[in-house]
Chain A
Amino acid sequence: MGLQEENVEKKVPKTTRRGAVILGIFGGTFAAVYAVTVPFFLPALRKICLPYVPATDQQITNVMRMLKGRSGSLIDLGSGDGRIVLEAAKKGFKSSGVELNPWLVWFSRIQARRHGVHTQTTFFRKDLFKVNLSEYQNIVVFGVDSLMPPLEEKLYRELGDDGQVIVCRFPLTNSTPVDEVGSGVDTVWLYDKQSLFSTSEKDRKQ
Chain B
Amino acid sequence: MKLLTHNMLTSNIIKGVTKGFPLQIAATDIKVTEVDFNPDFISRMISKVEWPALCEAAESIGHLGDLPKELDPDYEKNEEFLKKAHHVLLEVEIKEGELICPETGRKFPVTNGIPNMLLNEDEVGK
Contacts and interface: CB of A to CB of B under 8 A. Distances in A.
A47 B117 CA distance: 10
Given A157-B112, A174-B5, A150 B117 contact: yes
Contact of B5 (A149, A203, A204): A149
Given A197-B90, A204-B38, A153 B118 contact: no
Contacts of A34: none
A143 to B, nearest CB: 13
A176 interface: yes
Nearest to B1: A153
Contacts of A129: 114, 116, 118
A150 B119 contact: no
Nearest to B125: A49
B121 A197 contact: no
A199 B40 contact: yes
Nearest to A146: B13
Interface of A: 44-49, 129, 146-147, 149-150, 152-154, 157, 173-174, 176, 197-199, 203-204
5 contacts: A49-B119, A149-B5, A153-B114, A157-B114, A173-B8
Nearest to A176: B41
A146 B112 contact: no
Contacts of B114: 129, 150, 153-154, 157
Interface string B90-126: 1000000000000000000000111111111100100
Q: For the complex of A and B, list the 10 residue pairs with the smallest distance between their C-beta atoms, beginning with the closest.
A: A149-B8, A45-B121, A199-B41, A149-B5, A153-B114, A150-B115, A146-B13, A173-B8, A154-B114, A46-B121
A49 B90 contact: no
A157 B113 contact: yes
B83 interface: no
A154 to B, nearest CB: 5
Interface size class of B (residues with CB under 8 A): 20 to 34
A47 B118 contact: yes
Nearest to B11: A146
Interface of B: 1-2, 4-5, 8-9, 13, 35-36, 38, 40-41, 45, 48, 90, 112-121, 124
A139 B94 CA distance: 25
B53 to A, nearest CB: 14
Contacts of A44: 124
Nearest to B8: A149
Nearest to A175: B41
Contacts of B8: 149, 173-174
Contacts of A47: 118-121
Contacts of A146: 13, 117
A198 B120 CA distance: 33
Contacts of A198: 36, 38, 41
A153 B45 CA distance: 16
B40 to A, nearest CB: 6
